[in-house]
Amino acid sequence: MALKITVIGTGYLGATHAAAMAELGFEVLGLDVVPEKIDMLSAGRVPMYEPGLEDLLRRHVAGIEGSTGRLRFTTSWEEVADFGDVHFVCVNTPQKHGEYGCDMRYVDAAFSSLAPHLRRPALVVGKSTVPVGSAERLARLLADLAPVGADAELAWNPEFLREGFAVQDTLHPDRIVVGLESAAAEKLLREVYATPMEEGSPFVVTDFPTAELVKTAANSFLATKISFINAMAEVCEAAGGDVVKLAEAIGYDERIGAKFLRAGIGFGGGCLPKDIRAFMARAGELGADQALTFLREIDSINMRRRGQMVGMAREALGDGTFLGKRVAVLGATFKPNSDDVRDSPALNVAGQIHLQGGQVTVYDPKGMDNARRLFPTLAYADTALDAVRGADVVLHLTEWNEFRELDPAVLGEVAASRVILDGRNALDAERWREAGWTFRAMGRPRA
């Protein structure tokens, strides 16, 4: 009989994982403690913008016309415990308020709520990004609380999905990493991931700490690549070099690789910034803090880029002040194809300029609602054209396709002055210059 799967926590990761498991052919029950989320998902609606996710969900949610009916949602721990052979824990692990460490309260609550109902053998699989050592602690908690005792087993299976590509990354992962302690757990997880494995996804079996570390190490490496190229951008700015050419040229070396070398205002979002900080905090607890001191530099290079963008904008305005100046900000989300504004470099830059007296108007194709909630004091426009109307300087801060396709001539007619700064190195400088704009980009020479 086919395995029955539950997914605990239906945020970004959980909603995608639940729909993907149904797509792979399993019966799936998703749980969330927020009833409104369950109502929305049960009606086939996704509470965030993620390309392809709503379609995938609607293909499987029970009660939707034409669906397979393999996917349902509930708020009942008892129902989930009775239903599942494999329980995936997908709750979030944000940064602790005011400190670097990782807030484990949702993971702990999920395990403590599920375990006392486990009356039949089950594999509980952690997917959340956690400090190394958590799995070992949670395995003990499970053994202590589950009525079925040792027949409730733990495995750790970190998730590497990127926002904007969540469906593709979940159905066709680069690799599947599992930390486990028994052959039975490995057999179950090989069954769960049989389809992506047949399609070529490597399956890496290891122990708990290594599985936990793979995730934080991967994100630290990605953050390092971005801060490396941003450090090179700073040197290019000082020396008159071109970081875009430099990135292209070093990227041809296969050992370096061309990806994740786009210089600009740096990384943000709900993962990279908090993961490198939590990793440093955990290494400190383990007495290995020296190993990760470089991550502090990665973080500060990244945060510095935001300030540098603000400085570039101030300089572009000529008289060294934002007072009485109108600034158009194109982009609010931390990256394109997402409505996520968590730790968004774009909004951070917009907020800094606002605090320094500039009149900032923001436009983003998908992130407006979330941005308005986070920064209610900024002004928002319904289109890029409206944001640019009357602007003394335009800042391009999130590289949506919509912004690449803007017509510089049309925007030039409504802007108060034709000055644009590209904080993502994604616009075609020549097109803008031909239309009479002063175009500057981070880490690139002035024309």
Q: Is 236 a catalytic residue?
A: no
Helical ranges in 256-376 per DSSP H: 272-285, 293-316, 345-355, 368-374
Residues annotated in a binding site for NAD(+): 32, 37, 93, 129, 163, 274, 342
Query: Considering the complex, what minimum distance in angstroms separates the CB of residue 342 from ligand UDX?
Result: 9
Between 79 and 169, CB nearer to ligand UDX: 169
In whole angstroms, give the CA distance from residue 301 to residue 266: 9
Between 83 and 334, CB nearer to ligand UDX: 334
Query: Considering the complex, what minimum distance in angstroms separates the CB of residue 9 from ligand UDX?
Result: 15
Residues annotated in a binding site: 32, 37, 93, 129, 160-163, 215, 260-264, 268, 274, 335, 342
Query: Considering the complex, what minimum distance in angstroms separates the CB of residue 117 from ligand UDX?
Result: 29
Query: Considering the complex, what minimum distance in angstroms separates the CB of residue 412 from ligand UDX?
Result: 27
| 285 in Cβ contact with 369 (< 8 Å) | no
Between 162 and 431, CB nearer to ligand UDX: 162
In whole angstroms, give the CA distance from residue 428 to residue 442: 13
| 102 in Cβ contact with 23 (< 8 Å) | no
Q: What's the Cα-to-Cα distance from 52 to each of 43, 68, 95, 170, 337, rounded to whole Å? A: 16, 17, 28, 12, 11
| 204 in Cβ contact with 175 (< 8 Å) | yes
In whole angstroms, give the CA distance from residue 226 to residue 93: 23
In whole angstroms, give the CA distance from residue 71 to residue 141: 29
Sequence length of the chain is: 447
Query: Considering the complex, what minimum distance in angstroms separates the CB of residue 356 from ligand UDX?
Result: 23
Residues annotated in a binding site for substrate: 160-163, 215, 260-264, 268, 335
Q: Which of the residues 90, 102, 236, 271 is marked catalytic?
A: 271
Please give the residue ranges that form the binding site for ligand UDX (CB under 6 A).
Answer: 159-163, 219, 222, 226, 260-262, 264, 266-269, 271-272, 334-335
| 349 in Cβ contact with 423 (< 8 Å) | yes
Between 123 and 222, CB nearer to ligand UDX: 222
Between 283 and 301, CB nearer to ligand UDX: 301
> Catalytic amino acids?
271
